[in-house]
Amino acid sequence: MIPIKASVLNNDETPDEVQALKRMFHFNQILGKAEEQKHGLNGYTNSLKYGNDLAKILILWSWKQPWMGVTVMFYGQGKKLYEALAKMTDIKIDWFDMIGNICLKFKGHVSRIDIAVDLINYGFSVDNIAEKLKADTYEFLNGKTKRKIGLEKMKTIGNSGEVDTLYVNSRKSDAFLRIYNKRKQGLSNKSSGYYTQAKNTQDWIRIEAEFKHREAHRIGNDLAK
């Protein structure tokens, strides 16, 4: 997100900051012309959409509330499409440089960062991790205070007596963690793109983290510096 300098906008006015972001991300060069939409998300009134409904990138702003700034939202598949097409057009995507520009040049911030790590054939299982957390063999620590996160902040899901998914904190919190059995998920749908890979693995767990609000701001600033 970057702030809008203008304090008042007309309902048909596109902020200069939108054009600046389009140039910085090379959106038109990489993805072509955007689709203009007279609606947005999360309180925004206007948006530009790149890509398609399955792989999209949105630029959002509100002419009614300019103080909300301009937000660029990369959906997972939209980010993959953007990077793939950028490579085909020989445009280098440097996320460190871009985040640096957002935070330092435009005085903006990162609102959310999702991170995913796949552990394939390392011998891990979600059920075993859950058991070791109960036994105090494993523990999760708060990143700032280094204090142990209690079991009351964790939730497990599974069937046949085995844990397949582990949640730490709630989705509303600034930091949310999910660990789940990706192999089992991949094998459950033969038409999915993960089925063959899942079939050829002994074990496969995925660790996903969502950082929002203050935590995302802090991570963005750390990356920028």
Q: What is the rounded end-to-end Cα distance, in angstroms, of the chain?
A: 17
Long-range CB pairs of 89-98 (<8 Å, 24+ gap) are 89/29, 89/30, 91/26, 91/29, 91/30, 95/223, 96/223, 98/24, 98/25
pLDDT at 52: 93
pLDDT at 67: 95
Is there a contact between 123 and 203 (Cβ–Cβ < 8 Å)?
A: yes
CA-nearest of 212, 158, 209, 167 to 185 is 158
Asked whether the predicted pLDDT for residue 216 surpasses 90, the reply is yes
Domain ranges (residues) in the chain: 16-108, 115-213
pLDDT tens track for 99-126:
999 999 999 999 999 999 999 999 999 9
Amino acid 180 reads Y
**What's the gap between Cα 51 and its chain centre?**
17
pLDDT at 192: 81
Provide the mean pLDDT of the chain: 94
- The percent of residues in the chain predicted with pLDDT above 70, rounded, is 100
pLDDT tens track for 133-177:
999 999 999 877 899 999 999 999 998 789 999 999 998 999 999
Phi and psi of 155, rounded to 5°? Answer: -135, 140
* Sign of the four-CA dihedral 93, 99, 105, 111: positive
Phi and psi of 80, rounded to 5°? Answer: -65, -45
How far is residue 31's CA from residue 78's CA, in Å, rounded to a whole number?
A: 10
- The DSSP element (H or E) to which 26 belongs, if any, is none
pLDDT at 145: 87
How far is residue 225's CA from residue 223's CA, in Å, rounded to a whole number?
A: 5
